[in-house]
Amino acid sequence: MFVDKARITIKAGDGGNGKVSFHREKYVAAGGPDGGDGGRGGDVYFVADTNLSSLIDFQYRKRYFAEKGQDGGSKKCSGKTGEDLVIHVPKGTVVRERGTGRILADLSGPDPVRVARGGKGGWGNSHFATATRQIPRFAKGGYPGESFDVELELKLLADVGLAGFPNVGKSTLISVVSAAKPEIANYHFTTLVPVLGVVKLGPEESFVMADIPGLIEGASEGVGLGHEFLRHVDRCRLIVHIVDVSGCEGRDPKEDFAAINRELERFDPELARRPMMVAANKCDIATPEQIEDFRAFVEAQGYPFFAISAAARKGTEELVKAVAKRLQDLPPIKEYQPEPVDREQLLAEAKPNQFTIRVEDGVYLVEADWLMHVLGMVDMDDYESLQYFQRVLRLSGIIDRLEEMGIQEGDTVSILNFEFEYLR
């Protein structure tokens, strides 16, 4: 069963909790705090697996969770980091966030891609000891790992896509020029799933061709198989439009050609502008007048024309060589770039005006659930990231509120697991 779309939920592991512990040792009268930090939660990675050709496994399992980080221990022992989760998908799978449509990953290469980050571990009470607070009886919980509802969409990686009405000879052509063996029969919609074939021209020269299930007019309204499989042409560098020039089924090849181009335009205008070659198939049973009339029609629109008979293997070699030559001038197969999180939008949706501040043992404790998401994106070792965090605190009104409460330079501010000295 071929499945090229699936919806799943992924969640990275939560960070482990910090430990509240005090040093206990014989002959040591007053051991200090020695609670360890919690371990970081495991990340969620996606990796392209060339042994997979369908997303069918995701029809039966919908939720994927990485391991949580372990809690911290005594003697400043940190908790174990959670195991990463690696999800295998077919090569060419695009991972999108449901709802927003934001691209999280394109699995076109061999390297794993991290999609969800594990939560940071919470600090143990050993971090909170100061000259004025020598016995901290609290620790911090771990950060939650990132969670996404995602849609997986398989877009086959092919250099050339075959487009055309059903039963015009697409499957026959790919079976002749490659080692692919699609089902071939004299009825519409014999091809129900896309078929890939590698076309070899020499020891180190080849390209990948995709046989896409046939379109018919009205596919954009769901007629026939609809536009369901046109996503697999989306990455193709070149489209070869196959037309039955003989009209043996009572159809006009000119009308067929125009109808398929309209369906490509309705699916994606950019796809309709993709470089195209036209192969007039079944020329062995067409009259010379039919072939020349259709040639003039196609070339008048600026498309290269090839008269072939896939079943009789006439003209196919010339077509393959022309395709290979054209591919040399075209850009590589399309890859999608992940779209970064819009921090400003995330902040706007987080209701940043909701926070509380209290003073405990001289420390200003800021509490706000929405800040957990912001802190998860901040790299404390990066200057620009810290500048962003400072701007969030200013825009949300937290710094103004601290100043109203009388905070002085050098006082300690604690925001979740992050402590820093206040500087004007």
Question: 44-49 and 85-90: which strand pairing?
Answer: parallel
DSSP character for 186? Answer: S
- Residue 335, in any domain of the structure: no
- Residue 332, in any domain of the structure: no
- Residue 292, in any domain of the structure: yes
Q: What is the mean pLDDT of each run of 10 residues along the chain (424 residues)?
A: 86 91 78 89 95 89 96 92 96 92 92 92 82 74 88 90 87 87 57 78 87 66 60 87 88 90 87 92 92 95 94 93 94 85 55 76 83 65 72 84 88 79 78
Kindly list the distances between the CA atom of residue 36 and the CA atoms of 78, 124, 127, 131, 413, in Å, as whole numbers in the listed order.
5, 5, 9, 20, 21
Residue 154 pairs in a beta bridge with: 93
pLDDT at 376: 60
Chain segment 24-68, per-residue pLDDT in tens: 877 766 778 889 999 999 999 999 998 988 899 998 899 999 999
pLDDT at 61: 92
Clarify whether residues 78 and 113 are in a common domain: yes
Which residue reads 């925001």 in tokens? Answer: 415
pLDDT at 137: 76
Task: Give the chain's domain count.
Answer: 3
Within 10 angstroms of residue 328's Cβ, the number of other Cβ atoms is: 7
The SS3 of residue 21 is coil
Q: Which amino acid is at 187?
A: Y
Comparing C-alpha atoms, which of 203, 189, 82, 228 is closest to residue 143? 82
The enclosing domain of 164 has a CATH number of 3.40.50.300
- Residue 401, in any domain of the structure: yes
Clarify whether residues 229 and 346 are in a common domain: no
Separation CA 210–CA 413 (nearest Å)? 60
Answer with the one of 327, 350, 365 that is the final residue of a domain: 327
Clarify whether residues 270 and 355 are in a common domain: no
Clarify whether residues 91 and 197 are in a common domain: no
Clarify whether residues 147 and 171 are in a common domain: no
Q: Output phi, psi for 246, to 5 deg.
A: -75, -25
The SS3 of residue 138 is coil
Clarify whether residues 403 and 281 are in a common domain: no
pLDDT at 380: 64
Clarify whether residues 126 and 174 are in a common domain: no
Comparing C-alpha atoms, which of 40, 140, 34, 48 is closest to residue 92? 48
Clarify whether residues 60 and 142 are in a common domain: yes
Clarify whether residues 262 and 201 are in a common domain: yes
Whether the CB-CB separation of 117 and 376 falls below 8 Å is answered with yes
How many Cα atoms within 13 Å fall on the side-chain side of residue 22? 11
In which domain, by residue range, is 91 found?
1-154
Element (H, E) at 305: strand 305-307
Separation CA 350–CA 394 (nearest Å)? 15
Separation CA 128–CA 188 (nearest Å)? 73
Clarify whether residues 392 and 415 are in a common domain: yes
The SS3 of residue 261 is helix
- Residue 295, in any domain of the structure: yes
- Residue 400, in any domain of the structure: yes
Answer with the one of 154, 186, 214 that is the final residue of a domain: 154
Residue 107 pairs in a beta bridge with: 93
Q: CA 47, 237, 6, 43 torsion: positive or negative? A: positive
Separation CA 169–CA 176 (nearest Å)? 11
Whether the CB-CB separation of 346 and 371 falls below 8 Å is answered with no
- Residue 274, in any domain of the structure: yes
Whether the CB-CB separation of 85 and 148 falls below 8 Å is answered with no
Kindly give the residue spans of alpha helices, DSSP state H, lying in 285-397: 288-299, 316-327, 343-349, 369-376, 383-395
Answer with the one of 111, 126, 154 that is the final residue of a domain: 154
Chain segment 255-294, per-residue pLDDT in tens: 999 988 988 888 888 888 899 999 999 999 999 999 999 9
Question: 238-244 and 63-65: which strand pairing?
Answer: unpaired
Residues 6 or more apart whose Cβ sits within 8 Å of residue 384: none
Separation CA 10–CA 89 (nearest Å)? 14
Q: Output phi, psi for 346, to 5 deg.
A: -60, -40
Clarify whether residues 305 and 177 are in a common domain: yes
Separation CA 388–CA 382 (nearest Å)? 10
Q: Which amino acid is at 260?
A: I
The enclosing domain of 403 has a CATH number of 3.30.300.350
Q: CA 212, 214, 215, 221 torsion: positive or negative? A: negative
Whether the CB-CB separation of 121 and 16 falls below 8 Å is answered with yes
Clarify whether residues 45 and 172 are in a common domain: no
Separation CA 392–CA 371 (nearest Å)? 9
Global pTM value: 0.73
The enclosing domain of 7 has a CATH number of 2.70.210.12
- Residue 249, in any domain of the structure: yes
